[in-house]
Amino acid sequence: MDIREQVKENFRFELVHEDKNSKARAGIIHTPHGQIPTPVFMPVGTHGAIKALQPNQLQNLDIPIILSNTYHLHLTPGSELVAKAGGLHKFMAWDRPILTDSGGFQVFSLQGNSITEEGSKFKGPKGQDILLTPETSIGIQQNLGSDIMMAFDECIPYPADKAYTKRSIDRTHRWLDRCIEAWTNSEQALFGIIQGSTYDEYRDECLEEVVKRDLPGYAIGGVSVGEGPELMEKIVKYTGPKMPTDKPRYVMGVGMPEDLFMIWENGIDMSDCIIPTKFARGGTLFTNRGKIRITHKNYRRDFFPIEPNLEDYVNKNFSRAYIKHLFDSNEILGQILATAHNIAFYKSLADRARAAILEDRFLEFKAEFLKGYNKNDGAKKGK
């Protein structure tokens, strides 16, 4: 039996409801490690850990899935070691679903890489030569044992001319076939990635080719790579609703709240980004009224929670003044509490969006939220 047929016994998407006034939808992704209600935002644990948080803290926040990075776990500790430890779930004491990216974004972001038909060659952090191919990417991800693996592709930079884009997507389709050939574990789902830069005809071509492979899920790649919010919205609005309705739809690397509303409105189920955790460690916290810089002097005597409408551990127990004090004192607890808050805020946002979709009031919820949300509030304030 073909691996794509075998995986259907372990992985499926259940469409629960589509909002009557938009393309937003609520669903459930069923995996061997549990269910994932959608829409969902996935915190990024690059090295097999969400920076500053223990796995049980994520479980207490009811985070259903996290993302880890194939390239970084390949460098250290090595996927073979993780496999010997029983897989990434056991290695990091996380019993819920995990998605691993393919390493393709590192091909895009690292300097000095060269792309050939075989794969991508580049320098590692110690100057070592690294070759990442479709086969090695899938092999690493199978060693890690993630529930969702991403196909190895080329993340097309912006801007890219039409000739480059065409060559790139053709190669990405050939690489996808090699990924499928290397895929042997039916407890792991493989998602294909739709590239095409900013060109509608190439997004269409890539979508058609990738969907032909009848994979368990599909992602829009090559956004949030410098093209700006207007072009990103154009790509998602054009491509998202054309993706199969019976499979999960994923937009990679998108993480500002206003951008999440945009992708959800266009029928996207999954997203990830380092923004909430990275911003937290720098003292930028998300609230329903916008971002705040907790190190600003205004918060020295502010005894309110970061977000009074959240009922998580951080907001029930700690004030803005206390968390500012922790950052001022260079106490690591400040980063821990800030990270937990931002992840709780994003989880609440996705939960509220899902509830609104189920009640056919997503657009009303979006308008209400964005009316009170100042995306620039406090983000650039100094001490």
State the DSSP H helix or E strand holding residue 138, giving kind and residue range, or none if neither.
helix 134-144
Active-site residue, 246 included: no
Show the tokens assigned to 294: 């907790």
Assess contact for 243 and 237: CB atoms under 8 A. Answer: no
3-class DSSP assignment, residue 309 = coil
For residues 264 and 250, is the Cβ–Cβ distance under 8 A?
no
List 147, 269, 272, 312, catalytic entry: 272
Give backbone dihedrals phi and psi of 137, rounded to 5 degrees, phi first. -60, -45
- Alpha carbon distance 85, 146 (integer Å): 14
- Compute the distance between CA of residue 43 and CA of residue 41 in angstroms, rounded to an integer: 7
Q: SS3 string of 65-99?
A: CEEEEHHHHHHCCCHHHHHHCCCHHHHCCCCCCEE
Give the number of other Cβ atoms within 10 Å of residue 257's Cβ.
21
Taking the alpha carbons of 204, 206, 207, 212 in that order, is the dihedral positive or negative? positive
Contact predicate 116/107, CB 8 Å: no
CA–CA dist 346, 344 (Å, integer): 6
From the candidates 19, 101, 153, 269, give the one annotated as an active-site residue: 101
* Residues belonging to the active site: 101, 272
